[in-house]
Amino acid sequence: MSLDNQSPEEVLSEGERVMNICNACRYCEGFCAVFPAMEKRLQFGSGDIRYLANLCHDCNECYYACQYAPPHEFQINVPKALSAVRQQSYKVYGWPGIMVSINANPIYTLIMSVIVIPLLFLLAGVLTKGMGGLTTAYGDEQGAFYQLVSHSMMAWGFGMVGIFIIIAMIVGWFKFRNDTDPPDKLMWPDVKQAMLDAITLRYLGSDGDGCTYPDERHSTLRRSFHHFTFYGFMLCFAATSVATLYHYLFGWIAPYPFLSLPVILGTLGGIGLIIGPIGLLYLKRVRDVEPTEPVQTKMDITLLVLLLTISVTGLLLLFLRETAAMGIILLVHLGLVMGLFLTMPYGKFVHGLYRFGALIRFAKEERES
Amino acid sequence: MQHDIIYDVLIVGGGNAGLCAALTAREAGASVLVVEAAPKHSRGGNSRHVRNLRCMHDAPEGVLLDSYSFSEYWEDLQQVTGGNTNEELARLTLQESGECFRWMMKQGVRFQPALSGTLQLSRTNAFFLGGGKAMLNSYYHKAERIGIDIEYDTAVTELTIEDGKFHSAMVSHQRQTIQIKAKALVVAAGGYQANIEWLRESWGDAADNFIIRGTPYDDGKILKMLMNTGAKTVGDPAQCHAIAVDARSPKFDGGIVTRVDCVSLGIVVNRDAVRFYDEGEDFWPKRYAIWGRLIAQQPGQIAYSIIDSKSEGLYLPPLTAPVTATSISELATKLNLDPIVLEKTIVAYNVAVKAGDFNHTVLDNCQTQDLTPAKSHWARRLDTPPFFAYPLRPGITFTYLGVTVNNKARMIMQNGEPADNIYAAGEIMAGNILGKGYLAGIGMTIGTTFGRIAGKEAAHSVIG
C-alpha cells in the first residue's frame, strides 16, 4: 500500500501498529535512535509516532533484518511506514495552510519550482529588458548581474521571501516541539549531541559500515553523497553570506574574481551540490522498491532536482558570466533559487529541521534515562 | 540450477549450521551447493528468529563483558540437561564457543552490547546486531562472494544412501524433480517441530493446539529419511521445548513477539477457571520454559494469565493488547470462562495473599498462605480494575530427537559405525549435547561449532 490511497489516520495507525510489534521484539535496538526511543514508551500517541518517524533516517537496516518483513503476515516495514508518517508530518507542521495545500503534490511543486518560476523570471526579463538586453554580454567590471536585475530588486525580493520562509520554518519548528512533548527548554548538551549526530550522519552508519541502501548490502555511498549535498549547500550558503557582507560592509560589488572567497566557496559548494544530488538520485533509482514509500521518493526527487539545477546554473553563470548567455542563465538561476525558497518549508528540505529537533529530543531522553 | 556437475559437498538446510558448514567447506577449497527449502525471504530456518550466541570467554572480549569460564558454562549445561548430554561433544562445543564468536565476526556478522530486557545475558551471550536474520544476511553475502551455489525453494524429496554412504539427492525445484550428486552430504535441516502429524505421535490431539514459534519449514522430513536409512537417533521423541505464548499468535513463525511476560505478576487459570501451578516460583526467564508443558497438559491446551492495573508497565509490552474488563465477571464472560468459578478462584487467591513488600526485580516476600497451588513470590491481590487477561497456548521452539554424531560431526549408524560421507549439524543433532532443557543461546553455539566441523571434515574427506 502506498500513501496515495491511505488517509492520514491510516498512515498514523499503521505507524502505531508497526511500533507496537517492534516494541514487543526489540531485535533492532542496536541499529539507530528510533528503537531506543520507542522502548521508552509503552503507548504511541500521534506525536510519538511523528517524533519516531522524524528520527528515522530511512537507512533500511531494520527492514532487511526483520523476521516479520513482508510476506510475513505481520507485514512489518518500518522504513516505509515511518516514511509515510514523516511525509505527512511535514503537512501537519507546515505553515501557513495555504502554502501547504499548494505544495501538497511534490510533482506539482517540482513543475512549479523548476519550470514555471524560472520561466516567469525569464518572461519578466524579456518584458523589462527586451530580448536584446537579455542577450547582451557585460564585463565583470560593470557589475554585470545588476545590469539586468538591480541589486535592490534582488535584495528586496529574495530578502522578503527569505524572511517569510524563516518565519514559516520557525512556526514549523515550534509545532514540532509542541507535538511530541510538553514544551521544555533546549539544553546545550542535547543540542550539541544532536549537532554531532547530524553533521556526522551517525545513523547512516558512521561506524564505518554505512547502511543497507540502496539494497541489503552495506554501503557508505548514501552517507557520502548526503555529505556532498549537505556540505555543498552549506558552502553555497556561506558564499552568499560572505558576498552579502562584501556588498554592504565594504561596498564591493559582484561579480567577484575567481579567486575571491565567495567564488571559491560557491564553486566548491556548487561542485558538492552536483556530485551529491546526482549520487542520491542514482541511489533512488536503483533502490529496492519494498522499503520505499513512493510519495516520499517524489518529494526527495523534487528537492534533489532543484539543488542540482541551481548548482549547474550557478556554475554556468560563473564560467559564462562575460558572455551573451549570462542574462538567460542568471534569470533561470534566480528563478530556481526562488523556487527553492518558496517550496522549502513544505518539502523535503524540512527533514533537516525536524530530524534535528528529533535528535535533540532523543539526546534529552537518553540523558535523562 | 546446474545438475550435471558433481559437487564436493551438498548442504541441506540454509540456517546457521548449514551456512557455517558451507562457508568452512568452501574456504577449504570444496565446491559447495546449499539447498534451502524456504524461499529467499524466509531463508535460514529457526536461525531467522534467534538473537544471540552463548560463548565462554576468560576476559572481556568485544561485546562480551566480564568472563564466562568453561567450568561455569559446563555447570550451567549440566544443570539444565540434568546430565543428559554426551560429555565429549558437550566439552567440544563449549571449548569451541569462543572461537565461534570470533569466526562469526570474520564472516561479517556484527554484534551489539546487550540492552534492555536482555541485560541478564550480557555476560554470557553475544547478541547479533539486528538479530538472527541480519546474521544470516551477512553469511549469505559472504557465501555469494566466495562462490557458494545456493538454491532457494528447493526441498529434498529423497536421499539415496546405501550402507551409510550418500550417493545423490532428489530435490524439487521450480516444479521439477532434479537429481543432485555430491561426494559428501551435510544435513543441517533442523528438527521436526513444524510437523504437527509427527507431534501427534507423542502428544495426540493436544498437538493440534500447539503454536509453532519458528519456521514452518522444519518438517523433519530429512530426519525421517536418515532414520529410515539406518541412522542412530538421539534424544527423547516425546520431548520438545515449549514456552507459554499468546494464544492469538500466528500458527507458525511468530517468533519472539509471541511471548507473554506478565505470568509471574498475576495468576494463571485454565479453561475451568482454576489455577494449576505456582506462577511465582522463580523469575520468569527461569520459568517460561516449563509453562509450555504445563499448558499442554491442561484441558484444551489453553490458559489465561490474569493481572490487574497495578501490574501495568511492569512487563515487556506484548504483541497483542490484553482482553480488558472492569470486573472479574465481565472478564470471565469475555474469555468464555465460568464467571462464578473465576470469581471464586480469585476470591480464594486474594484471601490467601499475605501482606509483603512487592518488588518484581527480586524474589520478594509477597506470597500466599494455605493456598494450593501456592504462589511463592509477587503475590498481590487482584483488586484494582481494569483487569487484563492474555490467553496462552504452548509454543514449541524445537524438538530433541535427532541423529547421533561423533566429534567429527559424522553421523553414526545404528551399528555404531560412522557414516561414510554424511555429516550433521545444528538442531538435527543438538540432542547429542542438549538432551533436555535449554540454555539461552546454546542452540547457536552447537550449530556454529558443528557446522564448522562438518564443513571442514566434509571438505577434507573429499579433497584431502
Q: What is the pLDDT along chain A (369 residues), one digit of tens a residue?
A: 444 568 999 999 999 999 999 999 999 999 999 999 999 999 999 999 999 999 999 999 999 999 999 999 999 999 999 999 999 999 999 999 999 999 999 999 999 999 999 999 999 999 988 888 888 888 766 667 888 888 888 889 999 999 999 999 999 999 999 997 666 789 999 999 999 999 999 999 877 889 999 999 999 999 999 999 999 999 999 999 999 999 999 988 888 999 999 999 999 999 999 999 999 999 999 999 999 999 999 999 999 999 999 999 999 999 998 899 999 999 999 999 999 999 999 999 999 999 999 999 999 999 998
Percent of chain B topping pLDDT 90: 91
Q: Which of A26, A30, A64 sits opposite B137 (nearest CB)?
A: A64
Distance between CA atoms of B331 and B338, rounded to whole angstroms? 10
Q: Tell me: pLDDT of B280 over 60.
A: yes
From the CA of B256, how many Å to the nearest CA of chain A? 6
CA-nearest of B425, B431, B462, B432 to B12 is B425
Give the distance from residue B438's alpha carbon to the nearest chain A alpha carbon, in angstroms: 20
Kindly state whether B119 is in contact with chain A, defined as any CB-CB distance less than 8 angstroms.
no
Spatial CA neighbour of B33 closest among B77, B3, B65, B57: B3
Residue of A nearest to B113 (CA): A30
- Looking at A93, A128, A145, the residue that finishes a domain is A93
Specify whether the CB–CB gap between B190 and B429 falls below 8 A. no
User: Is the Cβ–Cβ distance between B423 and B410 less than 8 Å?
Assistant: yes
Spatial distance between the Cα atoms of B438 and B440, rounded to a whole number of angstroms: 6
Domains B6-237+400-463 and B242-395 share a fold: no
In sequence order, what are the beta bridge partners of B212?
A: B252, B396
CB nearest to A72's CB, from B112, B253, B256: B253
Closest-CA residue in chain A for B112?
A: A30
Shared domain check, A110 and A40:
no
Return residues 318-347 of B near A (CB < 8 Å).
Answer: 318-319
How confident is the model over B333-368, as pLDDT tens digits? 999 999 999 999 999 999 999 999 999 999 999 999
- Are A186 and A243 part of one and the same domain? yes
Tell me, what's the pLDDT at A2? Answer: 47
CB A134 within 8 A of CB A147: no
The answer to whether domain B6-237+400-463 has CATH 3.10.50.40 is no
> What value of ipTM does the predicted structure carry?
0.94
Q: Is the peptide bond before B373 cis (omega within 30 degrees of 0)?
A: yes
On chain B, the residues whose CB falls within 8 A of the CB of A70 are 41
List of chain A residues whose C-beta atoms are within 8 Å of the C-beta of residue B132: 27, 67
Euclidean distance between CA atoms B345 and A104, whole angstroms: 59
Which long-range contacts link B329-338 to residues 24+ away (Cβ below 8 Å)?
B331/B306, B331/B387, B331/B389, B332/B273, B334/B389, B335/B304, B335/B389, B335/B391, B337/B269, B337/B271, B337/B273, B337/B304, B338/B272, B338/B273
Pick the closest to residue A209 from B126, B135, B108 (CA basis): B108
pTM: 0.95
For position A113, what pLDDT does the model report? 95
Count up the domains in chain A and report the number.
2
Which residues of chain B make contact with A21, given a CB cutoff of 8 A? 257, 319
Please state, rounded to an integer, the average pLDDT across all residues of chain B.
95
Are B130 and A209 an interchain contact pair (Cβ–Cβ within 8 Å)?
Answer: no
Instruction: Report yes or no: A286 and A245 within 8 Å, Cβ to Cβ.
Output: no
CATH 3.20.20.70 is the classification of domain B242-395: no
**Same domain for A132 and A7:** no
Q: For A218, which residue in chain B has the nearest alpha carbon?
A: B138
A265 and A210 belong to one structural domain:
yes
Q: Which residues pair with B162 in a beta bridge?
A: B165
| CA dist A135 → A141, A142, A148, A315 (Å) | 18, 16, 10, 18
A181 Cβ under 8 Å from any chain B Cβ: no
Q: Are residues A49 and A108 in the same domain?
A: no
User: Do A176 and A242 lie in a common domain?
Assistant: yes
Same-domain pairing of A101 and A66: no
Pick from B116, B134, B250: CB nearest A73:
B250
CB < 8 Å to B130, chain A:
27-28, 30-31, 61-62, 65
For chain A, how big is the Rg over CA atoms in Å? 22
Residues A81 and A45 in one domain: yes
Q: Where are the domains positioned within chain B?
A: 6-237+400-463, 242-395
Residue A213: give the domain boundaries: 97-368
Do A68 and A18 share a structural domain?
A: yes
Task: Name chain B contacts of A217, Cβ cutoff 8 Å.
Answer: 141
pLDDT tens-digit map of B403-421: 999 999 999 999 999 999 9
> Which amino acid belongs to residue A190?
D
Tell me: the pLDDT tens digits for B67-124? 999 999 999 999 999 999 999 999 999 999 999 999 999 999 999 977 765 667 889 9
Q: Are residues A21 and A35 in the same domain?
A: yes
Final residue of a domain: which of A93, A121, A147? A93
Number of other CB atoms surrounding residue B346 within 10 Å: 24
Measured distance CA(B220)–CA(A231) in Å, rounded: 57
Domain boundary (A37, A68, A93) is at: A93
| Minimal C-alpha gap between A65 and chain B (Å) | 4
User: Which of A250-264, B295-309, B321-335 is the least confident region?
Assistant: A250-264
pLDDT for B222-233, tens place per residue?
A: 999 999 999 999
Could you tell me if B250 lies within 8 Å of chain A, comparing CB atoms?
yes
CA distances from B418 to A105, B222, B424, B447 (A): 69, 18, 11, 20
| pLDDT on residue A1 | 44
Which chain B residues are Cβ-neighbours of A63 within 8 angstroms? none
Q: Can you give the pLDDT at residue A183? A: 66
Residue A47 and residue A67 in one domain:
yes
Residues A148 and A16 in one domain: no
Q: Examine the pLDDT at B3 and tell me if it is beyond 90.
A: no
> Among residues 29-68 of chain A, which lie with CB inside 8 Å of chain B?
29-31, 36, 39, 42, 61-62, 64-68
